[in-house]
Structure 1
C-alpha cells in the first residue's frame, strides 16, 4: 500500500478498493433499496410513511441540520434533545409520528422509543449489528460516509413491506453524480502523483455536492454506484478500519490534559476544551494535510446549548480502509505533535 499523502476529506475513486470474493455473501439484503443519497433514502421512507398516515417526524437535536432543512419540505419536522456520549433518551410518539434514531459514529443507538415508527440511521457503520428491545421499522444510510462511491443511499424497509421497484436516477442527479465521480477520479490521480491542482478537484466536488442536494426529486443512484456499492467488500474494509482505530487509540495515550480521545466503531473523536482550541487544532492539522470533519454545525434554533458546545469541541478523525499501519502511526504522531506543542512549533517539520 502506497503511503498516504493526506488523511481524511472525501474518498477518491479507488480501483484498489477491496472487492467481495466470488461467491462471498453480499452485504446488501433482499429488499434493500438503493437511492441517490442518504437524504433521498430518508425522503423515500417519509413518502411511504405519509401514504400510511404519518403527519410528523422527530429528529435528534444533534444531527445534520441541512438534512432536516430538506426534510421539512416533505413533513412536519420536530426536534427532540439527544446527542452522542449522553445517557439514553426516552421518546414517546403518537401512532402517526416517526422518529429518526441515529447510531452516532457507529455506536449503539441511545433512544428508547415508545409508539410510532423508528427510522434507524446507520450511515456511519453499514454492517453494525446492534440489537434492540424494539427493532427499527426502517434502516437507512448514506453510502458516501463509508464507501468510495460518488453518491448513494440505502433503505432497508420492514419485512414484507418492500418498495415496489428500484429507483431510477433523475437527470439532475446523473449530472451531479458524474461531477462527483470526476472529482474523485481527479483526486485519485493527484494522490498517485499526477500534476493535478487540488483546488480544481475540490471546487468540482463542492459544486457536485451542492447539485446533489439541490435536486428536488427523490432519485435513484448513479449507474456507477449501483454496480460498485454491492461489489465492495465491506467486511474487509470494516476490519481494517477497526484495526486502524485501535492502533490510533494507542497512539493517543500521550494527549495532554484538556483533550479527550473517544474511540468509536467508525472514527476517532477528538474532544477539545472549547471551540477556540478546536479551531486552532483543526487549522494546524489541515496545514499538515490532515482533514478532520466537524459533525455537525448546529443551525436549528431548537438545538440545545449542550449540543452547540459539543459541536464546537468536536473533531472527527478518519482512519478507514485507505490507510495502513504506518500511515496510522504517522497520523498519530502528527496529532500528538500538534496537541502537545505551541502553535509556532510546526514551522520546522
Structure 2
C-alpha cells in the first residue's frame, strides 16, 4: 500500500477500493441521497403515521437538526458521548434519534414512541438492545469512499419505500463531489492539482447536497459502488489500525502528557485535550503536519448544556480507516505524540509566538 501523504478529511475517489466480501445491504433497505435525506424520509413516513415531534440528543450535528426542523418539531434531550446513559419517555406520536457515537453502543433507553438508531459511524455494528430500534439509518460517506448516500433500514418484513430516484439538483451536487474526490486522488498521487481547488469544489458540493429541498435518491455511482465494496474488510482494517494507534500511546515512554486523553472507539481515535485553547493549538499543529482531524460537532442550538460545549471544545476525531497501512499509522502516532509533548512542554507559547 502506498504510504499516506496526509491523514483524514474526505475520501478520495479510489479506483482500487476493495470490492466483494459479504453483502451488507439487506432486502428492504432504502438508499437515499444523503444521511439527511434518510432522516427526512423517516420523518415524512412517520408524519404520515401521526408523528408530531422528534427528539434528538443535545450532542449531535446541529446543522442536520436545522434541516429536519423544517419538517417536524425537533426538541433536544440531554445526552453526549462518554457521558453515561440517558432515559427518555415518549408519547405514541413522538420519535427519537438514538446515536451510536463513534460506533460505540448506544446508551439511551427509550420508553414509548419510535426509535431511530443512527449507525453512521459503523455500518456493520452488531450491538443488540433490549428494545430493538424501529429504524436504523446512516450517512454512507462517514464510512465509504462515495460522493453521497444515506441508508434507511426498516424493521424486517416491513417495507419502507420503493427505490428513490435522485433529484436533478442532487445529481449535479453529487457529480461535483465526485469530481472533487477525483481531484483529491490525483493530488495524492502526485499530480499538479491545487489543493485549494478541490477543497473549494467539495465545499460547494457539500452546500448544494444540503440545500436540495426534495428528498433524493443516491447518485448512480453510489447506487452501484456502495453495495459492491468489501465493507467487512474495510472495517477489519480500521479496527487493526485503531488498535495499533492505541498501542502508540501505551507505556511510560509513549504516554500522552497530563491533561490529554486518548479514547479508542470502533470508528475513530478520539483525542481529548485539556481545554479549548489547547485543543485549537493541537489542531493547528496537526494540520501543519498534514493531519486533518474532525471536530464533531459545533454546538449551535440554544439550550445545549455546558458540559456538551466543553466536550466540543476538547475533542479531536482522527481517522485510521482502510486508506492507511501499518507504517502510516505508526507515523500518525509519532506525529500526535510529538505535537502533544511539545505543546505540553510549552503551554504558554502560542504557535504565532514560535513563528
Determine the C-alpha separation between the residues in 2 that align with 1:346 and 1:330. 22
The equivalences for 1:188-227 within 5 A come to 188-227=185-224
C-alpha deviation, 1:164, in angstroms: 3.2
| 8 Å Cα contact 1:338/1:346 also seen in 2 | no
Specify the SS of the correspondent of 1:341: helix
Specify the SS of the correspondent of 1:155: strand
Determine the C-alpha separation between the residues in 1 that align with 2:97 and 2:57. 7
Structure 1 runs of 4+ off > 6 angstroms? 343-348
Give the equivalent residue in structure 1 for 2:284: 283
Determine the C-alpha separation between the residues in 1 that align with 2:43 and 2:8. 32
C-alpha deviation, 1:87, in angstroms: 1.5
| 8 Å Cα contact 2:13/2:145 also seen in 1 | yes
Determine the C-alpha separation between the residues in 2 that align with 1:25 and 1:17. 15
- Cα deviations by residue, 1:228-268 (Å, 9 ceiling, x for unpaired): 00000000000000000000001122211110000000000
TM-score by length of 2: 0.95
Given the superposition, is the C-alpha separation of residues 40 and 225 from structure 1 closer, same or farther in structure 2, using an over 3 Å criterion?
same
Give the equivalent residue in structure 1 for 2:10: 10
Specify the SS of the correspondent of 2:282: helix
- Cα deviations by residue, 1:308-338 (Å, 9 ceiling, x for unpaired): 0000000000000000000000000000000
C-alpha deviation, 1:159, in angstroms: 2.2
C-alpha deviation, 1:163, in angstroms: 2.4
Specify the SS of the correspondent of 2:317: strand
C-alpha deviation, 1:195, in angstroms: 0.5
Aligned residues between the structures: 345
Give the equivalent residue in structure 2 for 1:37: 34
The equivalences for 1:159-308 within 5 A come to 159-253=156-250, 254-308=255-309
CA RMSD of aligned residues (A): 1.4
- Cα deviations by residue, 1:1-42 (Å, 9 ceiling, x for unpaired): 00000000000000111111xxx4310000000000000000
Q: 1:89 aligns with which of 73, 86, 89?
A: 86
C-alpha deviation, 1:345, in angstroms: 11
Determine the C-alpha separation between the residues in 1 that align with 2:5 and 2:220. 30
- Cα deviations by residue, 1:106-158 (Å, 9 ceiling, x for unpaired): 00000000000000000000000000000000000000001000000000012
Determine the C-alpha separation between the residues in 2 that align with 1:46 and 1:250. 42
TM-score by length of 1: 0.97
- Cα deviations by residue, 1:22-81 (Å, 9 ceiling, x for unpaired): xx4310000000000000000000000000000000000000000000000000000000
Determine the C-alpha separation between the residues in 1 that align with 2:18 and 2:125. 19
Q: 1:141 aligns with which of 138, 159, 163?
A: 138
Determine the C-alpha separation between the residues in 2 that align with 1:7 and 1:65. 25
C-alpha deviation, 1:341, in angstroms: 1.1
C-alpha deviation, 1:160, in angstroms: 2.7
Determine the C-alpha separation between the residues in 2 that align with 1:299 and 1:46. 22
| 8 Å Cα contact 1:151/1:177 also seen in 2 | yes
Give the equivalent residue in structure 1 for 2:117: 120
In structure 2, stretches of 5+ residues that fail to align are none
Matched, 1:64 2:44: no
Determine the C-alpha separation between the residues in 2 that align with 1:64 and 1:41. 15
Determine the C-alpha separation between the residues in 1 that align with 2:155 and 2:92. 16
Determine the C-alpha separation between the residues in 2 that align with 1:66 and 1:171. 23
In structure 1, stretches of 5+ residues that fail to align are none
Determine the C-alpha separation between the residues in 2 that align with 1:164 and 1:61. 29
| 8 Å Cα contact 2:167/2:214 also seen in 1 | yes
| 8 Å Cα contact 2:30/2:161 also seen in 1 | no
Determine the C-alpha separation between the residues in 2 that align with 1:230 and 1:308. 37
